[in-house]
């Protein structure tokens, strides 16, 4: 089926958001003109949408994304940015230098897709079998390119620098960490990044709305693997063997009881076993049964409690039946912590750019996982959700991220471009050198300077060293 999100731009006159694009209604119900940033972002929307669709139709998974990287390089060519390519992965870091001293802000977009067969029916649907942009990273990348273009056009209004972080491997291994290790947060002249901002699109919220909260925005996302070892034999004589299957089932139930009886109700935790594998024939009791899943927590204290509880319960249940277990608990992404002061700045910037009625406080964190957490462990900043419920859809009722049928309202991409730019301009306007007195202003950049190339396939396929727990919603 064709999606309403695939409509040509500009939107038709009877599109509700097209009408509101000309005026914004604030919280008091009064009408005011659309902000300059949003109007300028809307002019870039056809190019932003075209880039999003190009990336969407040719999705790539993991750390090695050559087509996506090339699309980004072509899109930012000629903007006068200093561009650095990753060594261990297909990352792109592009720096816009205003030529005036000031702060340095990082803006981030993830680039990678999911191992999932697309069933949207879009005209620009994935051409790669079994791979799909089902989490909006194509839109994130396109919006950040649009922000780079718009901020470059408004360069004379800026002080300091903006770092554009295009990151692979959010879904499959924590691509933020190797980018940090390769110098993401320190520029070539020694200037340190002062703060960082990212947004994540979703279809469940009203289009062009922003949702954010100070403190914990995303949960820590860790993995569970448990192998129960018994003794195999004939299915007709279970009393002569050690059957690991009922023990594995008992462990699943006991883990849920452990969560409700050891984790405080005001610090929620989720533990979900998603796979159980055992046996090869109907008449053979297997030697082993394997469980896997994930647990999500909102604090380091509850993270430790759940981690210790999983091992204790699994070993105890197995021992009660004369069996042994091997418990593996690979650590995934830590919690995403939004800095309160920076979050307040984001709320003000969003209200100015998009209208106060479009900015909402999240009532609680999401239990999804995000490796932007590694950036926010090192510099203050925030991550927000950008609503993109497709036309005709009901917020909260449409397929959302990680669905093979997820659709996004592409009108929201203009709001995302404007939001990136509003946050950047407001933060940089906050002024001062803030310890960056050694900044070297670069003038007269005519074209992008590409500083480093990706190395051979052997290096770029190295293990990134963190469990794959990216599923930002």
Q: How far is 215 from 202, CA to CA, in rounded Å?
A: 20
* Of the candidates 156, 173, 142, the residue with the CA atom closest to the CA atom of residue 99: 156
Instruction: Assess contact for 438 and 190: CB atoms under 8 A.
Output: yes
Q: How far is 115 from 137, CA to CA, in rounded Å?
A: 13
User: Angle CA(204)–CA(209)–CA(213) in degrees, nearest 5?
Assistant: 90
Beta bridge mates, 82: 95, 449
333 is catalytic: yes
Instruction: Assess contact for 179 and 86: CB atoms under 8 A.
Output: yes
Question: Distance from CA of residue 110 to its chain's centroid?
Answer: 6
Which residue in the list 295, 333, 374, 408 is annotated as catalytic?
A: 333
Element (H, E) at 23: strand 23-25
Determine phi and psi for 270, rounding to 5 degrees: -125, 130
Instruction: Assess contact for 289 and 229: CB atoms under 8 A.
Output: no
Instruction: Assess contact for 71 and 54: CB atoms under 8 A.
Output: yes
Which residue in the list 118, 170, 370, 410 is annotated as catalytic?
A: 410
Instruction: Assess contact for 401 and 116: CB atoms under 8 A.
Output: no
Would residue 437 be called left, alpha or beta, if left means φ above 0 and alpha means ψ between -120 and 50 degrees?
A: alpha
290 is catalytic: no
Active site (catalytic) residues: 333, 410
């Amino acid at each position: 089926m064709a999606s309403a999100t695939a409509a040509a731009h500009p939107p038709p006159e009877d599109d509700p958001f097209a009408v509101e694009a000309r005026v914004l209604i604030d919280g008091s119900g009064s009408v005011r003109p659309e902000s300059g940033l949003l109007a300028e972002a809307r002019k870039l929307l056809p190019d932003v949408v075209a880039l999003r669709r190009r990336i969407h139709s040719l999705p790539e998974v993991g750390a090695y994304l050559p087509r996506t990287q090339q699309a980004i390089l072509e899109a930012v060519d000629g903007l006068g940015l200093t561009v650095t390519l990753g060594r261990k992965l297909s990352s792109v870091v592009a720096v816009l230098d205003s030529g005036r001293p000031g702060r340095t802000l990082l803006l981030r977009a993830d680039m990678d897709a999911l191992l999932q067969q697309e069933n949207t029916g879009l005209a620009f649907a994935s051409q790669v079998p079994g791979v799909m942009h089902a989490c909006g990273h194509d839109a994130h990348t396109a919006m950040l390119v649009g922000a780079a273009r718009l901020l470059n056009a408004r360069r004379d209004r800026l002080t300091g620098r903006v770092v554009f972080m295009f990151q692979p491997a959010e879904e499959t291994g924590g691509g933020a960490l190797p980018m940090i290790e390769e110098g993401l947060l320190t520029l070539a002249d020694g200037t340190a990044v002062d703060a960082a901002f990212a947004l994540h699109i979703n279809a469940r919220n009203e289009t062009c709305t922003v949702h954010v909260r100070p403190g914990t925005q995303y949960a820590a996302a860790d993995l569970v693997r448990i192998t129960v070892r018994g003794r195999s034999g004939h299915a007709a004589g279970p009393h002569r063997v050690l059957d690991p299957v009922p023990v594995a089932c008992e462990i699943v139930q006991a883990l849920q009881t452990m969560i409700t009886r050891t984790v405080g109700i005001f610090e929620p935790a989720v533990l979900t076993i998603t796979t159980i594998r055992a046996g090869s024939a109907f008449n053979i009791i297997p030697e082993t049964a394997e469980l896997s899943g994930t647990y999500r927590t909102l604090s380091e204290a509850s993270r430790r409690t759940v981690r210790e509880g999983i091992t204790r319960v699994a070993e105890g249940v197995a021992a009660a039946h004369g069996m042994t277990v091997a418990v593996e608990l690979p650590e995934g992404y830590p919690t995403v912590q939004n800095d309160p002061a920076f979050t307040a700045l984001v709320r003000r910037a969003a209200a100015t750019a998009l209208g106060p009625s479009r900015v909402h406080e999240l009532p609680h964190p999401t239990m999804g996982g995000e490796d932007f957490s590694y950036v926010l462990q090192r510099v203050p900043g925030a991550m927000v959700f950008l609503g993109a419920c497709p036309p005709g859809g009901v917020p909260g009722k449409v397929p959302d991220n990680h669905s093979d049928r997820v659709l996004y309202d592409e009108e929201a991409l203009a709001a995302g471009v404007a939001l990136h730019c509003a946050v950047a301009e407001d933060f940089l306007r906050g002024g001062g050198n803030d310890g960056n007195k050694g900044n070297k202003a670069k003038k007269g950049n005519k074209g992008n300077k590409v500083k480093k190339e990706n190395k051979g396939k052997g290096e770029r396929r190295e293990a990134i060293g963190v469990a794959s727990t990216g599923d930002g919603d």
